[in-house]
Amino acid sequence: MGRRGKKKGRAISGWLILDKPVDFGSTEAVSKIKWLFKAQKAGHAGTLDPLASGMLPIALGDATKTVPYVMDGSKIYRFTVAWGEERETDDREGNVVRSSEDRPERSQIEALLPRYKGVIEQTPPQYSAIKIDGNRAYDLAREGEVVEMPTREVEIFRLDLVSVPTPDTAVFEVECGKGTYVRSLARDFGRDLGCFGHVADLRRTYVAPFDEEDLVPLEELIALEEVEDDAERLAALDDYLVHTGEALSMLPQVAVSDGQAQRLLSGNPILLRGRDAPLPADAAYATSHGRLVAIGEIAEGEFRPRRVFAT
């Protein structure tokens, strides 16, 4: 029986909250960060289109175990809608499929927005990563197929009209839940207003629990490639990392002893007793002396681990 090969890269863990530039794909960004940090593994918490800029949280090492909790968090986008043209991609990259000379008044736009707050039905763009019969929708669209995209429920927590710079454009800010397509919002605004529209500019400014203060410009990281000493360069890069446990800050936290931590790391549940015992929770995390030990559930007076963190 052959031995497993040693994993390549450093066994580091943490989050890099990248300020992704325009015309840089999310997968490309993950590969670049993994290479810069010489990490064993990396992954992102929610795709950001190449034409969009802003927050792309990238998990390194054991932090990849916390990706689902960040993906489920709320997000904030600021985006500009260009009126007068609907495009096949619902952004400025696609070909024009409908056009209009009409332009909406500010009062018309403001009157429309309440319809898009709360839980709404949304049809994703034809050019999206959603799978249709095992194929990505954007692959089918590029092959010329017209796909009937299934609608989905998404939640809009807040939607504001920020400004109307010109008669041809309007700037919005939206706080929304998982799975919301901003490009679909722009398309549907244009249809409802009778003037058509598409996203001309898009920036993500927040992915719970991270905010703009955590953002790291890509050029700052690339500039460190000039540091010749490996140890010095990697230490400088590591200073940009956010602790793995920060991704779970919206969940209940359970502080455990050294002995309890060892039980959890072995995959065993621990008893939670006493007047201050935490309430039942579908998801919670355990720490020991500030170190993340496990993610699990609190049920029937126990903390039951699902994922453990040995490093």
Question: Which residues belong to the active site?
Answer: 49
C-alpha of 218 from chain center? 17
CB 48 within 8 A of CB 54: yes
Cis peptide leading into residue 125 (ω within 30°): no
Coil, strand or helix: which one is 70?
A: helix
CB atoms within 10 A of CB 172: 22
Rounded to whole angstroms, what are the CA distances from 150 to 85, 128, 132, 153, 176? 23, 12, 9, 10, 19
CB 176 within 8 A of CB 154: yes
Coil, strand or helix: which one is 57?
A: strand
What contacts 24+ positions apart, CB below 8 Å, involve 214-218? 214/17, 214/242, 215/17, 215/18, 215/19, 215/54, 215/55, 216/16, 216/17, 216/18, 216/19, 216/240, 217/19, 218/18, 218/19, 218/20, 218/21, 218/24, 218/29, 218/32
Which two tokens mark 32?
A: 């670049």
